[in-house]
Amino acid sequence: MNVIPRIVPLSEQGLTVEFGETIDLQTNKLVLDFAATVERATIPGVMEVVPTYRSATIYFNPLLTDAAAVTAQLRLLLATAFPATDPAHTTHHIPVCYGGELGPDLIDVAEQSGLTPAQVITLHASVTYHVYMLGFSPGFPYLGMVPDRIVAPRLPTPRKQVAAGSVGIAGSQTGIYPQASPGGWRIIGRTPVHLFSLTRPQPFLVAAGDQVQFIPIDMEEFRDLSSDHT
Amino acid sequence: MEGFPLYGWTMPPDQPPIHVLRPGLFTTIQDLGRYGYQRFGVSVSGAMDRWALVVGNRLLGNPDQAAGLEITIQGPELLFEQALSLAITGADLSPTSNGRSLPMWTVIPMPAGSRLQFGMRRQGARAYITIAGGIDGPLILGSRSTHVYSGWGSLAGRALKKGDQLGVGLGGTMSAQYVGRALPASHRPQYRTSPTVRVVPGPQADRFTENALQVLVGSPYRVTSESDRMGYRLRGADLIHRTSADIVSDAVTFGTIQVPADRQPILLMADCQTTGGYATLATMIAADRSLAAQLSPGDSLSFVVITPDKASDLFRSTHAELDRLLPPRSVSDSRAFL
């Protein structure tokens, strides 16, 4: 490993292991490999591991262990060559109906980038995205990076309500709102796929480290697929 | 949330024993929170004042994680269809039943047909009604806590409203064995409107000017009206970043003090998101979350910095002290409640 991660206390119950300060694939893969390694190591007293773009926070129960013991274990794991990204990570094919009322910001994104809406769609669906992390709301995947031509800033004022399944762009990130919520990303389409369902053994469809490929569909297919999912 | 399966009901909800006559200002079902899913973006949530919730549960002989009602500033009016026992802990909002004043921090029998009401706020902001057997409802990812931002939890993830009916866990309505049991008066908290809470330096403390922590502890911060279960926006002396307020998102927790570009701190509370994009200066210790949970807009908050080791000692001593006063129902339950 060519970086020496910093371990800093988040609280008396959490330690954050920082692998970098930027959004980049190499850093994030280190984070995810490390997070998976910590989970497999089942360190006594460790409750939960939360990977982000560039760090992994390890939450522990101070009644069962202490920061020094956990830090020692984490350093040990950092010193060993933890395995490369788990090949079991899934590629998800997510159908998206772009534009219209399902993608109210598609035209703005196109105008701002000097492209036609069709070109924005082609570019957005041309990339296999890496899932950097989940956050913001249950099951919300942060995906990157969108092609440079369709990078678009957040809305100046967030919407009070973004529909479930909405696919948006914020800077060079793209993401999917798993459920209706307020949101400031530019919405270019919507997927009929449910990103989480508590009736599934694994409630969340997408995990950090997975890959996402968007498949453009039309309104008719969107309706068909929507009824399949209900 | 539509389509959620009703996992974890322990009693058929055909005869819900509690009727909500008036909901109060903001009353939600809360337990100790939803752990293990933060990596999927699921907020831990749970009671703002976990200590007060756990005291109520232990008085009643409930497991620590049994769900209760969290009441904010102005209490609900409830009608009990069946006899049960309950305890009211946390803020003193002048509870009464059929005109009689009810003691706080004490197991009280509620006969069938009795009503529970609240009156003037004497101290604190959040009271807890815990009920023998616990409030029932769907377990979602291991918790009954309501998270209104994502619409998760009992009652479709919302606060109580008039006409709601609440169920009670198995055995709850017939349990009377702990009636009269009380937390010793010497151990009941006195909630102040200007408490001092302890913090440890946060992961991005080095992103602030050298004296930022001294500024934080130098004068009190006021709790503004933009404050809720997700976090409190505080107003006071400016906390100055070295460069930018924005960071690449990092994990945040209940107690994180993050500072956006306006240099005014936000104290994250129980419903906070799992990650945040503002530099964090410090983290309030878990043992002092109860003090912050009992504040309302207009109150103020002072900070003092301690070491993480000291914070760990306080975490353990807070648990040990309560275990001594009111042992947990099951000694094998080594889960921390803070």
Interface contact B150, partner A, CB < 8 A? yes
Beta strands in B73-195 (DSSP E): 77-80, 84-92, 96-97, 100-101, 107-110, 115-116, 123-131, 165-166
State which of A30, A59, A79 marks the end of a domain: A79
If asked whether residues A115 and A211 sit together in one domain, one would say yes
Residue A118 vs residues A64, A67, A97, A189, B12: alpha-carbon distances, Å: 57, 53, 12, 12, 53
pLDDT digits (tens, 9 = 90+) for A54-109: 999 999 999 999 999 999 999 999 998 776 556 668 999 999 999 999 999 999 99
**Does A214 share its domain with A100?**
yes
Which pLDDT belongs to residue B277? Answer: 86
Is A117 in the same domain as A222?
Answer: yes
- With contacts defined as CB-CB under 8 Å, which chain A residues touch B37? 138
CB B286 to CB A135 under 8 A? no
Res. B305: pLDDT tops 90: yes
A2-31 tens-digit pLDDT:
568 999 999 999 999 999 988 999 999 999
A52/A157 same-domain check: no
Does the CA dihedral A188-A189-A190-A196 come out positive or negative? negative
Asked, for residue A211, whether it belongs to a domain, the answer is: yes
The reported pLDDT for the residue numbered A7 is: 96
| Contact assignment for A59 to B256 by CB distance below 8 Å | no
- Predicted confidence band of residue B329 (pLDDT cuts 50, 70, 90): confident
Do the domain assignments include residue A175?
yes
Please indicate whether, in this complex, the C-beta atoms of B336 and A13 are within 8 angstroms of each other: yes
pLDDT range class, residue B248, cuts 50, 70, 90: confident
Pick the CATH number of B196-306 from 3.40.50.300, 1.10.1200.10, 3.30.420.40, 2.40.100.10: 2.40.100.10
Mutate: best of A10, A66, A202, partner B, most B CBs <10 A: A10
| pLDDT for residue A200 | 84
Chain A residues closer than 8 Å to B140 by CB? 198
Tell me the pLDDT tens digit for each residue of B139-195.
999 999 999 988 888 888 899 999 999 999 876 655 678 999 999 999 999 999 999
Distance CA A53, CA A184 (A): 20
pLDDT at B111: 93
Residue B313: pLDDT above 50?
Answer: yes
What are the tens digits of pLDDT across the range A156-180? 888 989 999 999 999 999 999 999 9
Q: Say if residue A58 is exposed, middle or buried (CB neighbours under 10 Å; 0-12, 13-18, 19+).
A: buried
pLDDT tens digits along B251-301: 999 999 999 999 999 999 999 999 998 999 999 999 999 999 999 999 999
Element housing A48 (H / E): strand A46-51
Q: Choose between A201 and B64: higher pLDDT.
A: B64
Give yes or no: residues A57 and A147 share one domain: no
**Do A212 and A157 sit in the same domain of this protein?**
yes
**Which pLDDT score is estimated for B331?**
67
Task: Give the integer Cα–Cα distance in Å for A23 and A25.
Answer: 7
Residues A65 and A137 in one domain: no
In a domain, A49, yes or no: yes
B197 touching A (Cβ < 8 Å): no
CATH code for position A32: 3.30.1360.40
Does A1 map to a domain?
no
Of the candidates B78, B215, B66, B197, which has an alpha carbon nearest to the alpha carbon of residue B137?
A: B66
Of A55, A138, A207, the CB nearest to B42: A138
Same domain, A69 and A104: no
* % of chain A at pLDDT higher than 90: 83
Give yes or no: residues A106 and A209 share one domain: yes
Query: Is A84 a member of any domain?
Result: no
Q: Do A52 and B275 touch (CB under 8 A)?
A: yes
CA quadruple A58, A61, A65, A70: dihedral, nearest 10: 0
Reduce the DSSP state of residue A41 to 3 states and report it: helix
Note the pLDDT of residue B334: 62
For residue A130, being part of any structural domain is answered with yes
Asked whether residue A66 falls in the same domain as residue A101, the answer is: no
Enumerate the domain spans of chain B: 18-188, 196-306
Span B114-125, pLDDT tens digits: 999 999 999 999
Q: Quick one: closest CA in B to A204, which residue?
A: B40
pLDDT at position B151: 86
Q: Which domain holds residue A12?
A: 6-79
**Using the beta-carbon criterion (under 8 Å), do B253 and A11 form an inter-chain contact?**
yes
A85 occurs within a structural domain = no
Number of domains in chain A: 2
Q: Is the ipTM of this complex over 0.85?
A: yes
Residues from chain B contacting residue A140 (CB–CB below 8 Å): 41
Q: What is the pLDDT of residue B3?
A: 34
Say what the pLDDT of residue B260 is.
93
Task: Give CA–CA dist B325/B76, Å, rounded.
Answer: 30
Look at residue A101 in the predicted model and tell me its pLDDT.
96
Top pLDDT among B197 and B277 is at B197
Please name the member of B41, B201, B336 whose beta carbon is closest to the beta carbon of A134. B41
